[in-house]
Chain A
Amino acid sequence: MNWQLLPQFATTGLLAGGPIALMALGLVLIFKSSYIFNFAQGQLLLIGALITWWFSVELGLPLWVSIAIALILSALLGLVIERLALRPMTGQPLLSIILMTLGLSQVLQGSALLFFGGNQRNFPQIFPAGDPYKIITPFVYEGNPIVLILKQNLVWSFIVAILGVIVIGAFFKFTKAGLAMRATSEDHELAQSIGLRIHRIFGISWMLAAVVATIGGVLLATSSGLDMSLSIVVLAAFPAVLLGGLESIPGTIIGGLLIGLSVGLVSASTNQFIRNSGEIMPYVVLLLVLMIRPEGLFGQKRIERI
């Protein structure tokens, strides 16, 4: 263990957990309302970022306008996906639904490549790249205080992401639409019988998920760049969702942060093999969770009967 790097990596790991939490939120939103685990979330992220890039770089619109347009377009995309691809799958077995979102991910990835091309591209900077924040910690190593060097975009991405999760959590807790969505997630038939239009609610949750994905995509892309591999980043969010518990919004924050932290902690190792395990840490954590507590930290345990 490189002890002098531990505070640094623990902090950057936690900060990197913010965007992971945001991505996990997108997954939870859809799962909560319709019991669909969306494997195409990464592609929604990619397409949101690509649309933003296109409006701001190719068309030269101001970045904020481009982001607004991208948010609207991705919301529409979410709606269309729900209507065309997932509505016909209502009541189908789990396998079909999982494969539907996998098929969707392939279609979206192919379309993104077809219309935007596979080139790596520079994304407009939202936060300045230089001038990192330097925080002097109370820890001392070999006589010198340990200084944390934090990139601005890392800190701000974290803040935006966590704010996003909190806003959406509040929406669920305090608004009527949010209540309706929670009711739907409880029991589809019951919700329908008290007059909730559950299909509209499915639509709204997909729209929200796509919007959340776009925010995540923009945050990640602005940190250093944008290419087709952006869609893979979401794969780190799947374990976060399971860790937090599939239906829990606060769980996504804890899950995201814990996943980020676990990646950060192995980075501080002196052993290169352990250090390189950062990329699979989310999945190692996932396997541990599955073995010890499959319902996650905040999830609901359900029993089964014949």
Chain B
Amino acid sequence: MRSKIYILLSLLVLVALVLGACAPAATEEPPPPPPPEPTAPPEPEPEIPSGPPDLTGETITIYHFGDLSGPYAAITSPLVHGAEDAVVAVNEAGGIYGAMLDVKFADTAGSIDEAVAAFDRFTGEDDNPLVMITYGSGEVEALAQRFAESKVVNITAGLSARGFYIDSGYSFGLGPIYPDQFGLVMTFLQDNWAAYKPADAGDEIKLAYISWPTAFGQGALTPETRAFLDDLGIEVVAEETYDVSPAADTTTAILNAQVAGANVIWTNTLAFGVSVVLNDLNSLGLRDQFVVATDNWGMDLATYAFLADGAYGVGLISTFPYLWWTDVDNTGVQYAESLFAANERPSSEHNVGYLLLVAGIDMTVQAIQHAIDTVGYENLTGEAVHDALMDLSPFEALDGVLRVDYSGTNRSPHVSQIRMIKGGPDAFNILQDWTDTPDLRPVE
């Protein structure tokens, strides 16, 4: 009896070993991109393109990886779905000159080593990877150098400054970097302090930076922004952190900020981070003593899901470097809305992530198309897409949902709105229309 179990067990292990050994082979199956088709119309002089090329039968793969099971899962899932639905829609509309887009995803659970493993796997499978989309600040910071080395364009929703401006060059942000966002809102508050200040606050802004202790959470408080705040005359009186969890307790942080005399709280987090702060401010009865401001991810429909009471959201201020679902006049927003409805996504994903990645895919497609126009499909590389993104700049993605500018050394847009929650869900009212953000990129 017992020996049978042993045999069974060793057989299992053997099967596991064989399976494992087969694994890399199995992943190698997709053949490398076939050589340029001889049937394609000959293009000896690229300056005189004889109409658009016909790339029917070709496949262009877009890779993306992010956290779908770790702390950032709540925001990544709509981002990923937005990207996938948009790619399907692009294919249905004929792809890029007939070439079909394919997407491959890896779940990193928010860990850097998983992200590196995913990068290694993708670059190992594909001799000529063009674009990889990432969703987290930590991932960009850790991988930026590799993207530049391997000349793979990285389009990312993780907007901490280090990923774009130090040892990089192939990472492109879908929004202004967090220092720029932070600087923009602080400038606005400084200029309009009388209008927005809490009732019993003084004439000076006293800032409390209460945020997650991660690359993302600390992404806005850089030496550059500190100097910028100094110039504005804003004093940072408290720096506090709390856990990356909807179950975090910010009571300690808030009370310490209050004792330090703060009247503005900046929290550089996702919706559920902002919600924790707003919930605790309300449970402590201190909401009316602080202006609460956040980065672009903080103001989101998901915020409401985590608020103990929808009314707690009122008064939240954030940067807003894209349009919103309520801007129904915009054709891009209409397009995203139709995708969302067609794919029957749950209402919880009707948020910034989905909209932004539909725009992001549109931007990617524009860039690839432009690269094909410029260098031809047979010369299509990550470098060509990189050049195309720079060449197109400044440009609009998804009919103006997103405004980007990657010209020169810019790797993130420098323009944004500021919005404020004034009523129920979706009432993200514009406080300040599209304005140039301060440029607070890091200098090496």
Residue numbers of A with Cβ under 8 A of B are 2, 4-5, 8-9, 12, 16, 113, 117-122, 125, 129-130, 132, 134, 149, 151-152, 220-221, 223-230, 233, 267, 272, 275-276, 278-279
Q: Which residues of A contact B243 (CB under 8 A)?
A: 229, 279
Q: Which residues of A contact B284 (CB under 8 A)?
A: 132, 149, 151
Cross-chain contact B246 with A226 (CB below 8 angstroms): yes
Partner of B73 from the list A2, A118, A276, A279 (CB cut-off 8 Å) is A118
Q: Which residues of A contact B276 (CB under 8 A)?
A: 224-225
**B48 in the interface, Cβ–Cβ < 8 Å?**
no
Cross-chain contact B247 with A230 (CB below 8 angstroms): yes
**B145 in the interface, Cβ–Cβ < 8 Å?**
no
Cross-chain contact B77 with A119 (CB below 8 angstroms): yes
Q: Which residues of B contact A220 (CB under 8 A)?
A: 247
Q: Which residues of A contact B285 (CB under 8 A)?
A: 132, 134, 149
Q: Which residues of B contact A151 (CB under 8 A)?
A: 251, 280, 283-284
**B305 in the interface, Cβ–Cβ < 8 Å?**
yes
Q: Which residues of B contact A267 (CB under 8 A)?
A: 252, 256
**Distance A129 CA – B272 CA, assembled complex (angstroms):** 16
**Distance A2 CA – B251 CA, assembled complex (angstroms):** 15
Q: Which residues of B contact A221 (CB under 8 A)?
A: 247
Q: Which residues of A contact B330 (CB under 8 A)?
A: none
**Distance A121 CA – B404 CA, assembled complex (angstroms):** 33
Q: Which residues of B contact A278 (CB under 8 A)?
A: 252
Q: Mark B274-291, 1 if CB is under 8 A from A, else 0.
A: 001001101111000000
What is the size, in residues, of chain B's interface with A at 8 Å between Cβ atoms? 35
Binds A, one of B5-13, B63-71, B129-137, B429-437: B63-71
Cross-chain contact B308 with A129 (CB below 8 angstroms): yes
**Distance A69 CA – B109 CA, assembled complex (angstroms):** 31
Partner of A113 from the list B69, B247, B305 (CB cut-off 8 Å) is B69
**Known A4-B259, A120-B245; 19 more pairs at CB < 8 Å:** A9-B252, A9-B255, A118-B73, A120-B246, A120-B306, A121-B246, A122-B246, A221-B247, A224-B247, A225-B276, A226-B246, A226-B247, A227-B245, A227-B247, A228-B69, A229-B71, A272-B239, A275-B252, A275-B256
**B396 in the interface, Cβ–Cβ < 8 Å?**
no
**B126 in the interface, Cβ–Cβ < 8 Å?**
no
Cross-chain contact A122 with B255 (CB below 8 angstroms): no
**Distance A4 CA – B279 CA, assembled complex (angstroms):** 23
The 10 A-B residue pairs with the shortest CB-CB distance in the complex, in nearest-first order: A225-B246, A129-B308, A118-B69, A267-B252, A118-B73, A120-B246, A151-B283, A120-B74, A224-B247, A229-B245
Cross-chain contact B306 with A129 (CB below 8 angstroms): no
Q: How far is the CB of B293 from chain A (nearest CB, A)?
A: 21
Cross-chain contact A224 with B248 (CB below 8 angstroms): yes
Which residue of chain B lies nearest to A149 when distances are taken between CB atoms in the complex? B284
Which residue of chain B lies nearest to A113 when distances are taken between CB atoms in the complex? B69
Q: Which residues of A contact B279 (CB under 8 A)?
A: 129, 224
**B224 in the interface, Cβ–Cβ < 8 Å?**
no
**Distance A85 CA – B243 CA, assembled complex (angstroms):** 33
**Distance A275 CA – B248 CA, assembled complex (angstroms):** 16
Partner of B255 from the list A8, A227, A276 (CB cut-off 8 Å) is A8
Q: Which residues of A contact B241 (CB under 8 A)?
A: 276
**B120 in the interface, Cβ–Cβ < 8 Å?**
no
**B249 in the interface, Cβ–Cβ < 8 Å?**
yes
**B327 in the interface, Cβ–Cβ < 8 Å?**
no
Asked, given contacts A120-B73, A275-B252, whether A130 binds B247 with beta carbons under 8 Å apart, the answer is: no
**B309 in the interface, Cβ–Cβ < 8 Å?**
yes
Q: How far is the CB of A53 from chain B (nearest CB, A)?
A: 12
**Distance A130 CA – B272 CA, assembled complex (angstroms):** 18
Which residue of chain A lies nearest to B68 when distances are taken between CB atoms in the complex? A118
Asked, given contacts A129-B279, A129-B283, whether A225 binds B252 with beta carbons under 8 Å apart, the answer is: no
Q: Which residues of B contact A227 (CB under 8 A)?
A: 71, 245-247
Would you list 9 pairs from A and B whose C-beta atoms are within 8 A, ordered by A residue?
A9-B252, A9-B255, A118-B68, A118-B70, A119-B77, A129-B283, A151-B251, A225-B246, A229-B71
Cross-chain contact A129 with B309 (CB below 8 angstroms): yes
Contact residues of B between 294 and 312, Cβ < 8 Å to A: 305-306, 308-309
Q: How far is the CB of B314 from chain A (nearest CB, A)?
A: 14
Asked, given contacts A8-B255, A122-B305, A129-B283, whether A224 binds B73 with beta carbons under 8 Å apart, the answer is: no
**Distance A119 CA – B240 CA, assembled complex (angstroms):** 25
Cross-chain contact B68 with A129 (CB below 8 angstroms): no
Asked, given contacts A5-B256, A119-B73, A149-B284, whether A225 binds B247 with beta carbons under 8 Å apart, the answer is: yes
Q: How far is the CB of A106 from chain B (nearest CB, A)?
A: 14
Q: How far is the CB of B235 from chain A (nearest CB, A)?
A: 16
Q: Which residues of B contact A132 (CB under 8 A)?
A: 283-285
Q: Which of B109, B246, B280 has the most CB of A within 10 A?
A: B246
Which residue of chain B lies nearest to A153 when distances are taken between CB atoms in the complex? B283
**Distance A151 CA – B285 CA, assembled complex (angstroms):** 10
**Distance A152 CA – B283 CA, assembled complex (angstroms):** 8
**Distance A2 CA – B241 CA, assembled complex (angstroms):** 18
**Distance A185 CA – B74 CA, assembled complex (angstroms):** 45
Cross-chain contact B239 with A224 (CB below 8 angstroms): no
Cross-chain contact A119 with B74 (CB below 8 angstroms): yes
**Distance A221 CA – B246 CA, assembled complex (angstroms):** 9
Asked, given contacts A120-B73, A225-B246, A225-B247, whether A5 binds B259 with beta carbons under 8 Å apart, the answer is: yes
**Distance A149 CA – B259 CA, assembled complex (angstroms):** 14
Q: Which residues of B contact A229 (CB under 8 A)?
A: 71, 243-245, 247
Cross-chain contact A224 with B251 (CB below 8 angstroms): no
Which residue of chain A lies nearest to B244 when distances are taken between CB atoms in the complex? A229
Which residue of chain B lies nearest to A278 when distances are taken between CB atoms in the complex? B252
Asked, given contacts A125-B308, A129-B309, whether A5 binds B255 with beta carbons under 8 Å apart, the answer is: yes
Q: How far is the CB of B338 from chain A (nearest CB, A)?
A: 25
Q: Which residues of B contact A230 (CB under 8 A)?
A: 247
Q: Which residues of A contact B252 (CB under 8 A)?
A: 9, 267, 275, 278
Contact residues of B between 322 and 350, Cβ < 8 Å to A: none
**Distance A242 CA – B248 CA, assembled complex (angstroms):** 25
**Distance A2 CA – B247 CA, assembled complex (angstroms):** 26
**Distance A175 CA – B394 CA, assembled complex (angstroms):** 77
Cross-chain contact A129 with B282 (CB below 8 angstroms): yes
Q: How far is the CB of A222 from chain B (nearest CB, A)?
A: 10
Cross-chain contact B305 with A12 (CB below 8 angstroms): no
Q: Which of B109, B243, B245, B285 has the most CB of A within 10 A?
A: B245
Q: Which of A117, A118, A272 has the most CB of B within 10 A?
A: A118
Partner of B249 from the list A119, A129, A224 (CB cut-off 8 Å) is A224
Asked, given contacts A2-B256, A224-B276, A229-B247, whether A122 binds B306 with beta carbons under 8 Å apart, the answer is: yes
Q: Which residues of A contact B282 (CB under 8 A)?
A: 129-130
**Distance A284 CA – B98 CA, assembled complex (angstroms):** 63
Cross-chain contact A224 with B309 (CB below 8 angstroms): no
Cross-chain contact B308 with A130 (CB below 8 angstroms): yes
**Distance A230 CA – B245 CA, assembled complex (angstroms):** 9
Contact residues of B between 221 and 275, Cβ < 8 Å to A: 239-241, 243-249, 251-252, 255-256, 259, 272
